[in-house]
Every structure is written in structure tokens, then in C-alpha cells.
Copies of this chain bind each other. A is one copy, B any other.
């Protein structure tokens, strides 16, 4: 029975790790679409999002099945509930990549971003993609070192996000309010993406060690 439980929990974890990978890839493609005003790529992210939603649903059903069949208690129960929360976070990460793609599509054939802030979003995108790949590894391996890396990446993301606001708020900003509104929303999408990745990392490490990352 315990063996069956651990097998099912492992399957669940692999499912969540796959979702993390998919969310990271979605953000990678969405960022490229954003930077290049690439409509086809944006459409691809929007279409593929349905696959992640579907995966979230089946992974959640797996978690419910484990609860129903194994009736885990104590640490085992917490591990499954933690998995349920991770599914919600990664689902949200994918939704944020979707938002980036949708804004890209809405402004097409215009670029959403003024040239001046391209560098910020290139870098925020790079960090987000790294975090997607790191959080996948943390979920699979409970690697505390990588979980710390997630927190460091989140700090970098927050710094970029703050700098971005100083660029926006500067009197030298010449791109008007409409562009500033888009940049504000996009900045928030990347920042929230990172927050959810950190949240998953923290939960995995806490689950594994009983200590906060």
C-alpha cells in the first residue's frame, strides 16, 4: 500500500514537473513573440495553453485519486496537498505566459514594447525561462541548491521590475501613456511568474526538509 502510494506520488510529481517545463517554454515563446511582434508564435502559445490547462486538470485528478485510494496521513497527506497547490501555481504561471502572448497579438503588427525597454524584457524573459527550468528540477529532485537559486533569480527579477518602473516614471519617457500601461502590465506578468515559481520551490523544500528555503 505504501509502495503504491509512493509510486502514485512520483507520477504526480513527474506530471507537475512536466507542467513547470511547459510553463517555462510558454514564457520563452511568449517573450520571443513579444520582442519580435511575432504573431504566429503568439498564436502558438495561445493554442498550446489549452494543453497545459488539460494537463493541470488530469494531474489534479491524479492527486484526488491518490487521496481517495490511499487516504494518506501526516507527511504523505501534506505531500499530496502540496502537489495540489503546486498545480495551481504552475497553472497560473502558464496563464501569465498566455497574457504576454495575448497582449502581443492585440497590438500586432505594432510592437508592444518601445525599443528602450526591450533589454529589460529580454532579461526578465531569460530569468523567467531559467526559473521554469529550475523549478522543474526542484520538483523532480528536491534540490535545495536550485531552490535557493530560484530565490536569487526572483531577487533579480524584482530588481529589474523596479528599474523598469524608474524608466517608466522618468520625465525622459517619450513613448506616451498607452505604451507605459502595456509595459506596466507586462512587468507585472513576469514578476508574478517568478513569484509563483518561488512559491513552488519553497513548498517543495519545506515538504522535503520541514525547513523554509
Contact = CB atoms under 8 A, between A and B. Distances in A.
A126 interface: no
Nearest to A78: B64
Contacts of A173: 177
A176 to B, nearest CB: 8
Nearest to A164: B181
B185 A178 contact: no
* Chain copies in complex: 2
A84 interface: yes
Q: Which 6 A-B pairs have the closest CB atoms?
A: A71-B71, A184-B184, A169-B178, A177-B180, A68-B73, A181-B184
Nearest to A80: B67
Contacts of A67: 67, 77, 81
Given A64-B81, A74-B68, A177 B168 contact: yes
Interface in A160-195: 165, 168-169, 173, 176-178, 180-181, 184-185, 188
A85 interface: yes
Nearest to A85: B88
Given A67-B67, A67-B81, 5 more contacts: A71-B71, A85-B88, A169-B177, A181-B184, A185-B188
A96 to B, nearest CB: 12
A200 to B, nearest CB: 13
Interface string A62-100: 001001100101100110010011001000000000000
A165 to B, nearest CB: 7
Contacts of A71: 71
A77 B184 CA distance: 41
A88 B67 CA distance: 19
A89 to B, nearest CB: 9
A176 B84 CA distance: 43
Contacts of A68: 73-74, 77
A81 B81 CA distance: 9
Contacts of A184: 180-181, 184-185
